[in-house]
Amino acid sequence: MSTDRLSGLLDEYAELEKRLADPAIHADQATARRVGRRFAELSPLYKAAGELEQARADQEAARELAAEDSTFAAEADAIAARLPALEERLAELLIPRDPHDAKDVILEIKAGEGGEESALFAGDLLRMFQRYAERRGWITEVIEAQDSDLGGVKDVSLAVKTKGVPEGGNGVWSRLKWEGGVHRVQRVPVTESQGRIHTSAAGVLVLPEAEEVDVSIDPNDLRIDVFRSSGPGGQSVNTTDSAVRITHLPTGIVVSCQNEKSQLQNREQAMRILRARLLAAAQEEADAAASDARRSQVRTVDRSERIRTYNFPQNRITDHRIGYTAYNLDLVLGGDMDGVLDALAEADRQARLAGDTELKRS
């Protein structure tokens, strides 16, 4: 156990506690939220360190008293038996965690191979995430969506947020970060007249939502175009040029938004997505420099690179990264995702304890 690291984190906790006690910090809600999240993230460590310190002090006191009264010897032994578990818990909390765990996320879901059936499946995934968020008490917001003709979605961006400061620093990212990749579905499509099972896929990209302080964007690096919004099939749904397309010239990243009624609102939504994509790109670059073995989330919707399969005839869900299989697909699509997400979280915990950076997310 690194005593220097522990000491540094406990000092940081004390400093954050002082900042949160200062009424002035609440004049800037963004700063207060960021400091509050970090404070919540360090709270379990502070509690675990305090419990271990208290247990050691109690053991020492019991040993001293046992010299005069033998009945305290049993108490000292009982405390000694508890120490390894407390030490293990603290050591686990000292393992560097994902720096984005406390963040909200933007989920991007894109239909892939499979035409209209893929778009329908992308819509199923959207509803699955929305229902799971509802179960967790999170807030969801569709930032941008392109619907398909049969009621699916070709492309959708969904913001998912916690209410207030997440407990223990475990925000939306800590639960949904492994969802990025290709999701494959096997079922009889509504467009299939022969009753044959088809395979199609949809891609999911999970981005930690970036605040303005996380990403610096030079306005001179942006090309902003406006155009008229359109709906499924290309029909115009707006008689004014309210849709916005933002191109980040240094990276070539392009973001378009047309769901809102005003040009200003669409611009603000597009900037949210752009900041998240730039933060993810910067993180990928840093990860690549630190470890060539680190793999990024799947960018192409290729069925051969799937992370998970949803088999409707067998009511089966299989996560191929950890070999997880369950026969409750109907419940999972209804938002009961904790089984597979808990399995992924445990695999990640074991990987960290073994010294790996983290469970590979794709």
pLDDT tens per residue, range 14-70: 999 999 999 999 888 878 888 888 898 899 999 999 999 999 999 999 998 988 888
What does the pLDDT average to over 163-167? 81
Task: Output the six-digit token pair for 331.
Answer: 């419940």
CA 182 to each of CA 185, 276, 301, 305, 318: distance values in angstroms, whole numbers, following the listed order: 10, 20, 6, 6, 13
Strands 181-187 and 306-311: parallel
Q: Return the SS3 of 291.
A: coil
CA distances from 277 to 28, 87, 208, 210 (A): 25, 39, 9, 8
pLDDT in tens, 173-222: 999 999 999 999 999 987 776 778 889 999 999 999 887 667 889 999 99
Least confident of 147-161, 208-222, 286-300, 327-341: 286-300
Instruction: Name the amino acid, one letter, at 46.
Output: Y
Which pLDDT value is given to residue 34? 84
Query: How far is Cα 260 from Cα 268, in angstroms, rounded to an integer?
Result: 10
pTM for the model stands at 0.76
d(CA 206, CA 298): 10
Give all domains of the chain, ordered by start, each with its CATH number. 3-94 (1.20.58), 105-212+301-354 (3.30.70.1660), 219-289 (3.30.160.20)
